[in-house]
């Protein structure tokens, strides 16, 4: 079926009003949840086939996250949908006022390859809960997961309600030529700009979940072994192919050597002496990204790791030292298992590095000094982050997740996902038993009365 026909069917289905029925949405989410649970092993197998993602990581970072989101939506959708009363203005007396939430219509969701199940289904949950119809474009770089998504979606939803469109960038370009009511994109900054430009043609509202070079600062008071363990986990889960992974470390020079030694120990603890044979370490998604990452290792000072195997798309967990901001590894988001380590002595040096780049999606600070953590948080703008850990802000559904500046526009997760895919419609209901004539023309003799009234307010 051609894309314009798919969109036409989606609009026709939305026009029936079925998706505005909360019971209908809730029932759809219940069916969706059960289908995902039934296909759990299939999801694990698909991600293993796509890039050897460990089963533990698939359950922890993909399936469990999605099930948690669906459970929350099923439980809270009635409350979220209720109009939110606000204090009425005396200028409108007598009146009442409230914000009503309505679906935008048909939403286009374009998902990435790095978490191909979770980052496709997560936004879908919010769109469905809010009452939209959905067209999903999964990544062509993870074909096994994309095919399974199509199986699940087809068995759960009417295709005019939720439709999956597979294909390469030409298909994505054709999708972006259409007029959507909402576009949700997760991916790189360059492609995000293309999506934003396409949306601008129709003034379509968007959410852009992008990325950037997320800093990880370690000061001289940090608990070194614990810090190393948490950094290694956050950096090398999914082989570093995580948009909120620590992209580089800025460590106080007085604890640099201790931190490097601790990180090396933790890498070995996590993945063994030879991570290539570990069942807990994923692979790079394709040759293009393998070559891009391999170039970053050329002429680099490798402290730990550095081994590669193109036939297996394997790059070992790697730590680089003697890194400068001018090095290739510091020019763009790494998105792989390479961790550059820079040093600082003064806070001004931290600022000079971070402020030289675009605002990151995430930032992390390891310190036991409250004043330092407060300084960092008040000095730098970033999408979200954590103190004395990595990645964990993502899993709290009470925290909206999103970027700022080049790292993204808008946010979602939990309740926020519902409101992201809803138009907030402000409505005032005016009483009829009183109609003060001051506002009506002619205005002669009323100006002084108006000024007194406004000052009184």
Considering the candidates 57, 216, 243, 333, report the single residue annotated as catalytic.
243
State the first-to-last Cα distance of the chain, in angstroms, to the nearest integer. Answer: 59
Give Cα 184 to chain centroid, integer Å: 10
Rg (CA), the chain: 25
H/E run at residue 286: none
23, exposed or middle or buried, with CB in 10 Å at 0-12, 13-18, 19+?
Answer: exposed
- Residue whose token pair is 């526009």: 409
- In the structure encoding, which two tokens stand for residue 126, read together? 């919010």
- In the structure encoding, which two tokens stand for residue 118, read together? 């979770």
Question: DSSP readout, 80-126?
Answer: HHS-EEEPPPGGG-SEEEEEEEEE-SEEEEE--SSSTTHHHHHHHHH
209 in catalytic set: yes
- In the structure encoding, which two tokens stand for residue 264, read together? 């090396």
- Residue whose token pair is 């600082």: 344
Write down the H helix ranges in 163-203.
169-177, 189-200
Give Cα 311 to chain centroid, integer Å: 31
d(CA 263, CA 229) in angstroms, rounded, equals: 7
d(CA 262, CA 171) in angstroms, rounded, equals: 46
40 in catalytic set: no
- In the structure encoding, which two tokens stand for residue 404, read together? 């700022």
**Residue 182: strand, helix, or coil:** strand
Considering the candidates 57, 69, 209, 266, report the single residue annotated as catalytic.
209
The β-bridge partners of 164 are 136
User: What are the catalytic residues?
Assistant: 209, 243
């Amino acid at each position: 079926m051609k894309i314009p026909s798919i969109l036409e069917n989606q609009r026709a289905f939305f026009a029936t009003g079925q998706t505005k029925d909360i019971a209908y949405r809730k029932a759809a989410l219940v069916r969706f949840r059960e289908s995902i649970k039934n296909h759990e092993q299939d999801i694990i197998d698909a991600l293993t086939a796509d890039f050897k993602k460990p089963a533990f990581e698939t359950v922890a970072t993909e399936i469990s996250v999605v099930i948690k989101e669906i459970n929350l939506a099923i439980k809270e959708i009635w409350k979220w949908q209720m109009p939110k009363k606000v204090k009425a203005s005396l200028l409108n007396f007598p009146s009442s006022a409230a914000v009503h939430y309505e679906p935008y219509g048909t939403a286009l969701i374009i998902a990435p390859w790095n978490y191909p199940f979770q980052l496709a289904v997560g936004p879908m949950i919010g769109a469905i809960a809010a009452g939209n119809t959905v067209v999903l474009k999964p990544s062509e770089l993870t074909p096994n997961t994309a095919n399974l998504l199509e199986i699940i979606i087809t068995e759960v939803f009417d295709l005019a309600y939720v439709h999956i469109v597979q294909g390469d960038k030409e298909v994505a370009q054709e999708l972006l030529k259409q007029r959507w009511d909402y576009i949700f994109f997760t991916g790189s900054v360059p492609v995000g700009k293309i999506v934003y430009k396409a949306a601008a043609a129709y003034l379509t509202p968007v959410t852009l979940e992008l990325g950037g070079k997320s800093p990880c600062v370690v000061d001289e008071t940090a608990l070194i072994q614990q810090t190393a363990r948490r950094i290694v986990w956050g950096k090398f889960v999914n082989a570093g192919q995580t948009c909120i992974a620590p992209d580089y470390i800025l460590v106080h020079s007085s604890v640099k050597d201790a931190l490097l030694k601790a990180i090396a120990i933790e890498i070995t603890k996590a993945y063994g002496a030879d991570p290539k044979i570990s069942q807990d370490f994923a692979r790079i998604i394709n040759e293009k990204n393998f070559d891009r990452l391999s170039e970053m290792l050329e002429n680099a000072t490798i402290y730990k790791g550095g081994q590669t195997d193109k036939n297996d798309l394997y790059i070992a967990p790697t730590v680089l030292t003697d890194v400068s901001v001018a090095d290739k590894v510091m020019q763009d988001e790494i998105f792989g298992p390479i961790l550059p380590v820079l040093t600082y002595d003064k806070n001004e040096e931290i600022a000079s590095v971070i402020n030289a780049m675009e605002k990151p999606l995430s930032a992390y600070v390891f310190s036991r000094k409250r004043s330092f953590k407060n300084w960092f948080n008040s000095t730098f703008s970033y999408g979200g982050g954590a103190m004395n850990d990595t990645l964990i802000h993502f899993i709290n559904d009470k925290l909206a997740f999103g970027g700022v500046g080049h790292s993204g526009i808008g946010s979602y997760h939990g309740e926020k996902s519902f409101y992201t895919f809803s138009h907030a419609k402000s409505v005032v209901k005016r009483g009829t038993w009183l109609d003060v004539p001051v506002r009506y023309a002619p205005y002669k003799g009323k100006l002084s009365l108006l000024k007194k009234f406004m000052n009184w307010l």
